[in-house]
Structure 1
Amino acid sequence: MKFLWTLFILMALMHTSSAQQTQKPVLHGKNWMAITGKPLAATAGAMIFQKGGNAVDAACAMLAATCTMWDMLSWGGETQALIYNPKTKKVIAINALGIAPTGATVAFFKNKGYNFPPEYGPLAAVTPGTPGGLCYMLANYGTLSLEQVLAPALQLAAGYPIEAQTANSIERNKDQIKQWPYSKKVFLTHPGENREAPDAGEIFVQKNLLQTLTKMVETERAAMKAGKSRKEAIMAAYDRFYKGDIAREFVRGCQEQGGLITMEDLARWKPLEEAPLKVAYKGIDVYKLQQWTQGPAMLQALNILENFDLKSMGYNSARYIHTIYQAMNLAFADRDFYYGDPYFKPQEPIKGLLSKEYAKQRASIIQFDQNNPRIGPGDPYPFEGKANPYTALLKKRGYEMDTTKRNFAPVHDIRNTSSLIEYQQRLWLGTTSVEAADKEGWVVSITPSGGWVPACIAGNTGVGMSQRMQSFVLDSTLSPFNVVQPGKRPRVTLTPSLALKDGKPFLSFAVQGGDTQDQNLLQFFLNIVEFGMNVQQATEAANINSNQLWLSLGGTKNDDRKPRPGQLLLNNNTPETVRNELKKMGYTLSFGDRTSGPINAIYFDWKHGSFWGGSSNYGEDYGIGW
């Protein structure tokens, strides 16, 4: 008996030890922290910090570097950011998402046979947002010049050793790349050979992009010489991109290849500074961007989950997984119908959606013995004192879903992939994240995206165009708030996060991965708050993913996008007992060896006056602290 008891203690200790083990170490720093999707890009952030820049400067440098390295995004994409300003002790939101161009109407796309705007090519493009967003953040909240901040990106554009991940992505997508002459010229460095893409480690040179970035720097330099202020000089470079010769070549190259973007579209677009949305979860204020992103879905899910004792359920028990899945489904059903660009009518009922009372009502319909395959949008309007004007539309919409067993990978993606894991890799590699913090108190969380490989490059600018148009809908029965319209922003999946506790930064966190982003960020946050994990453990810990939602990306037919009820991605290490319980509840299970997603995060240790950095073990994400 004594032997058995000793064995039990040893096994418990081993389990505790393994639970604490991570494949990457925690990053520590007291002066600054820089984390992003590529090691070279994190190094760019470190270089800026070493020059005396603040977290905004470093974040802009990392953003520029990742765009230049085609980390599944480029300079023609979009930037979404949250910034904590230590001077005002407020969180601000940056909306640098492009707009639908002139001519981008429902009739235009339907006449071409689409149910959604296309995934790739010039017709998938909204106007570029990243150059303007970077200039705006740097001008208003940074300290260095554009020339200093772009220096690492300029060096990369002049030639850097391309990593296997991007090089192989180019090779896989070379048939599409060949459709666009400017993309072909840039990406296929060995035309006519068996492998036409660059080799891993090959010095990848982007002469046109280098010229474009150099023009912006030269414009800033000339403005400073003419006596302009630092801010005015940076915005002069901005104007050259959106109104000058760079804009003219961008538009020419776009339209030559069949795109719709005009000079007027570029000139009228501008980045917006907004008030973020927030909810309190057990005394912690969690901040997200407004409802032009999916970010409020995580806030809704937190409101719903606050009604349950998650800790007592146990991390990734069958009951915990089921509860998380149901809460996410409820939030995503609302996202799919009610979210859209708040600068266009109709006005989204965001106050009702984020009310605690509405969350209680939504929580009350969760069935704890089985998955509910017919969860649909709720009615948040009474929770802001209004009547729902879309009752008839919701009835017409119905909740028809394919409840047959299907692969977790959507049909349109699995055609080019051999496995669920390869699909997940493709999904998580789209977009990147940027996290930065400094000892003065500046904190930046960015989720940039757009212009990923296979990207259509606009003329001789070297700039890949966005593919974000596909996140619009063409049918108001899917969402009356997110129907495509010239000048409008699509509802995107991109969702940086900040959390404050006792009025001070607590967490800065973001992740790649389309519709999985707020699913993984929700669980990361709960891993820390409910289960006491440190920031690195929380980034690596096994998450679940639901596909019971309308996909925001990929496919131009309803069948490509519609929800797959009960589809659940679990980690390979999920115990058999948990698997069996979930199957009894009606779930169809798929498995992966790493299911956290590539989360990057910074935890603020106010007790010791230091930063803890976490960077998931999923991909190439990397951080440096000092």
Structure 2
Amino acid sequence: MRYVISCFIIIFCTAYIQAQPTQKPPLHGKHWMAITGKPLAATAGAAIFQRGGNAVDAACAMLAATCTMWDVLSWGGETQALIYNPKTGKVIGINALGVAPTGATPAFFKSKGMDFPPEYGPLAAVTPGTPGGLCTMLAEYGTMSLKEVLGPAMEMAAGYAMEAQTANSIERNKERIKQWPYSKKVFLPHAGEKREAPEAGEVFVQKDLLQTLQKLVEAEQQALKKKRSRKEAIYAAYDRFYKGDIGAEFARGCREQGGLITTEDLAKWTVKTEEPLVVNYKGIEVYKLPQWTQGPVMLQALNILENFDLKSMGYNSANYIHTITQAMQLSFADRDFYYGDPYFPPEEPMKGLLSKDYAKERAQLIHPGYNNANAGPGNPYVYEKRSNPYLNIMNKRGFITDTTKSRNSDEFMPAHDATTSVQSFSSPEETAVYKDRLWRGTTSIEAADAEGWVVSVTPSGGWIPACIAGNTGMGMSQRMQSFICDSTLNPFNLVAPGKRPRVTLTPTLALMDGKPYLSFAVQGGDTQDQNLLQFFLNIVEFGMTVQEATEAANVNTNQLWLSLGGTSNADRKPRSGSLLLNSNTPSWIRKELTQKGYRLSFDDRTSGPINAIYFDWKHKTLWGGSSNHGEDYGIGW
């Protein structure tokens, strides 16, 4: 009888979900789609499309606009992108992540009493990547000039009506902003008054940023007058930033305030064009950027989950939640130990980590009855026919490397009972601080056109409270904090000059039958690939539309090392068994999960602000989705 009732509940819940009207209407377009974190920035993308630009042009315009609007990022941050080129049928990766500057070493940060680099201020800054990333994407794959693409952002820098979300964020963070003279000048136009930040609807002017953008356009236009090609002219602007007067002022302003970035650091840095990593999930090719991002976490989890009949479990049933949570935790354990900059030794074992056989081995670790509170990294080197040089570190940290036990075997019970190892927060204040670090945002950009170009971007860095670099008007990245200073935590992500930190930023593209199927991304720190995994499964396994899938309730595990926030191990350590659920989760599912050893918390929005495009090849149209979680939205035509 209980089985019959469970089946009825699963069928009813699935049908109920699919029958519900969404809180935001889906977007439809025949010619193009532009979606991002701010409606004004989506309008900038739409304007570029209407002027004849392609999806890359529009994505670059949206990137420039979101940076100018401080949509949890700034111009001094970093840009990560996947681009589908319809002329070649290939997916291209853009690595425009900055690097650690001269002097950034474990010894330097440890001398300041830090286990990790700081989360704010000039010492949190890697070199800026977004200006170079935008120029590279536009030069190589766009059709328009830098002047055209930066037009909307320049108009906004001259003055735009600020929305409440950013205005209130500035006011909340004003005490920290006051530490940095260039930030204070830009962000607090009403210094000394009760409210020092702009008000919602107030015209916000950024003279320094406007001048910087004008310098980039001047460099391009001067090159065009000299009969340089469109591409060469855009790269002239690139060089003015990294090797000219803009970079000199950026480095000066950084070092004046105690940072480490030098003009040599800027001149040496380059954008990397890469081949993405890919796995096939039930006939769908899912693409992610390499292991300098956390993107392969989703690929690993998909490989593991391919060994289970998820559809029969039912959307967000206790068994489904438990299974996907265990897969995510195993994948994040590998991320936390093995991911890092592939351009620095040692070489990450990515072939093994993405092996289907390795995934089968990891799937055997999922016990149906309880949460494995001690899930650790596996040994992917076996699947590369290499010996693992870090087994001694893994053994010292207590990770179990013998994975021959069946997932149904009581012999594989963790060293201590999972129900007694669940870690909780000591106070509501600690909970709020932890969740801010876990969910710390960025923005996402999705664009597609009728010609077939598709772009998925997750830019970030330089969010409020940002330390602005001199008179550039550009906030510096805070991405240095994603490095570690102790090689026993991760031998691959140890901070070093010229090295890229392993970041949470993770755009996604999926192809079916060699054609674009989905383009999607989300903000939210360590939760990004958790939410993107479930969004993808919502469509593929449960038949949701793209808008339904963006709004559907997700779960987030806290059993992972935080990538952002705090400077001590205690700030970042995993919260074993801590699981976030949607507030509407039924009582019987809560009970089953508690019995499996989870400690539950709840929120009314758990999808994260997912932005996505679905390619409807039957009708030759585009579907856009943007979750009911913030200001993200788009425009289609």
Q: Per the shorter chain, which TM-score range?
A: over 0.9
Classify the secondary structure of the residue corresponding to 1:580: helix
- Alpha-carbon deviation of 1:412? 6.4
- Alpha-carbon deviation of 1:397? 2.7
1:481 aligns with 2:492: yes
- Alpha-carbon deviation of 1:409? 9.6
Partner of 1:472: 483
Classify the secondary structure of the residue corresponding to 1:91: strand
Alignment of 1:1-12 (within 5 A): none
Counterpart residue type for residue 432 of structure 2: I
The partner residue of 1:452 within 438, 442, 463 is 463
- Alpha-carbon deviation of 1:413? 7.2
Partner of 1:588: 599
Partner of 2:633: 622
Q: Distance in 2 between matches of 1:13 and 1:74?
A: 42
Partner of 2:370: 370
Partner of 1:320: 320
The partner residue of 1:406 within 412, 424, 433 is 424
Partner of 1:350: 350
Counterpart residue type for residue 159 of structure 2: G
Deviations 1:576-615 (A, max 9, x none): 0000000101110000101000000000000100000000
- Alpha-carbon deviation of 1:430? 1.5
Q: Distance in 2 between matches of 1:204 and 1:154?
A: 12
- Alpha-carbon deviation of 1:396? 2.0
- Alpha-carbon deviation of 1:414? 2.8
Q: Distance in 2 between matches of 1:22 and 1:321?
A: 22
- Alpha-carbon deviation of 1:148? 0.1
- Alpha-carbon deviation of 1:220? 0.5
Classify the secondary structure of the residue corresponding to 2:509: strand
Partner of 2:211: 211
| Structure 1 runs (4+) greater than 6 angstroms displaced | 11-15, 408-413
- Alpha-carbon deviation of 1:15? 6.4
Partner of 1:523: 534
Classify the secondary structure of the residue corresponding to 1:303: helix
Partner of 2:511: 500
8 Å contact kept, 1:403–1:564: no
- Alpha-carbon deviation of 1:427? 5.7
Classify the secondary structure of the residue corresponding to 1:23: coil
Partner of 1:133: 133
Q: Distance in 2 between matches of 1:17 and 1:265?
A: 52
Alignment of 1:162-561 (within 5 A): 162-398=162-398, 403-407=421-425, 414=432, 423=435, 428=439, 430-561=441-572
Q: Distance in 1 between matches of 2:422 and 2:304?
A: 28
- Alpha-carbon deviation of 1:526? 0.1
Partner of 2:51: 51
Deviations 1:234-269 (A, max 9, x none): 000010110111011101100000000000000000
Partner of 2:4: none
Q: Distance in 1 between matches of 2:200 and 2:84?
A: 38
Partner of 1:155: 155
8 Å contact kept, 1:428–1:598: no
Q: Distance in 2 between matches of 1:248 and 1:463?
A: 13
Deviations 1:497-528 (A, max 9, x none): 00000000000000000000000000000000
Q: Distance in 2 between matches of 1:557 and 1:541?
A: 35
Q: Distance in 1 between matches of 2:71 and 2:17?
A: 35
8 Å contact kept, 1:605–1:612: yes
Partner of 1:3: none
Classify the secondary structure of the residue corresponding to 2:452: coil
8 Å contact kept, 2:93–2:289: yes
Deviations 1:91-137 (A, max 9, x none): 00000000000000111100011000000000000000000000000
Partner of 2:112: 112
8 Å contact kept, 2:278–2:286: yes
- Judging changes above 3 Å, is the alpha-carbon distance between structure 1 residues 409 and 41 closer, same or farther for their aligned structure 2 residues? farther
8 Å contact kept, 1:410–1:560: no
Classify the secondary structure of the residue corresponding to 1:219: helix
Deviations 1:130-175 (A, max 9, x none): 0000000000000000000000000110011111100111111111
Partner of 2:579: 568
Partner of 1:4: none
Classify the secondary structure of the residue corresponding to 2:475: coil
8 Å contact kept, 1:255–1:261: yes
Q: Distance in 2 between matches of 1:574 and 1:319?
A: 13
8 Å contact kept, 1:136–1:235: yes
Q: Distance in 1 between matches of 2:496 and 2:86?
A: 38
Counterpart residue type for residue 84 of structure 1: Y
- Alpha-carbon deviation of 1:189? 1.1
Q: Distance in 1 between matches of 2:57 and 2:97?
A: 20
Partner of 1:609: 620
Partner of 2:409: none
- Alpha-carbon deviation of 1:619? 0.5
- Alpha-carbon deviation of 1:21? 1.6
Deviations 1:311-342 (A, max 9, x none): 00000000000000000000000000000000
8 Å contact kept, 2:422–2:578: no
- Judging changes above 3 Å, is the alpha-carbon distance between structure 1 residues 390 and 14 closer, same or farther for their aligned structure 2 residues? closer
8 Å contact kept, 1:408–1:547: no
- Judging changes above 3 Å, is the alpha-carbon distance between structure 1 residues 155 and 497 closer, same or farther for their aligned structure 2 residues? same
Deviations 1:191-245 (A, max 9, x none): 0111111111110000000000000001111110111100000000010110111
8 Å contact kept, 2:556–2:580: yes
- Judging changes above 3 Å, is the alpha-carbon distance between structure 1 residues 13 and 467 closer, same or farther for their aligned structure 2 residues? closer
Alignment of 1:48-87 (within 5 A): 48-87=48-87
Structure 1 gap segments, 5+ residues each = 1-7
Counterpart residue type for residue 216 of structure 1: L
Structure 2 gap segments, 5+ residues each = 1-7, 400-414
- Judging changes above 3 Å, is the alpha-carbon distance between structure 1 residues 582 and 310 closer, same or farther for their aligned structure 2 residues? same
Q: Distance in 1 between matches of 2:421 and 2:104?
A: 34
- Judging changes above 3 Å, is the alpha-carbon distance between structure 1 residues 528 and 329 closer, same or farther for their aligned structure 2 residues? same
Output the aligned Cα RMSD: 1.9
8 Å contact kept, 2:520–2:611: yes
Give the TM-score normalised by the residue count of structure 2.
Answer: 0.94
Classify the secondary structure of the residue corresponding to 1:464: coil
8 Å contact kept, 2:157–2:210: yes
Q: Distance in 1 between matches of 2:18 and 2:317?
A: 18
Counterpart residue type for residue 343 of structure 2: Y
Q: Distance in 1 between matches of 2:159 and 2:242?
A: 26
Identical pairs, percent:
75
- Alpha-carbon deviation of 1:404? 4.9
Partner of 2:29: 29
Counterpart residue type for residue 586 of structure 1: G
Alignment of 1:85-104 (within 5 A): 85-104=85-104
- Alpha-carbon deviation of 1:16? 3.2
Q: Distance in 1 between matches of 2:427 and 2:503?
A: 20
Counterpart residue type for residue 314 of structure 1: G
Counterpart residue type for residue 397 of structure 1: R
Deviations 1:27-66 (A, max 9, x none): 0001000000000000000000001000000000000000
8 Å contact kept, 1:458–1:464: yes
Counterpart residue type for residue 328 of structure 1: M
- Alpha-carbon deviation of 1:408? 10
- Judging changes above 3 Å, is the alpha-carbon distance between structure 1 residues 348 and 271 closer, same or farther for their aligned structure 2 residues? same
Deviations 1:72-99 (A, max 9, x none): 1000000000000000000000000000
Q: Distance in 1 between matches of 2:17 and 2:607?
A: 20
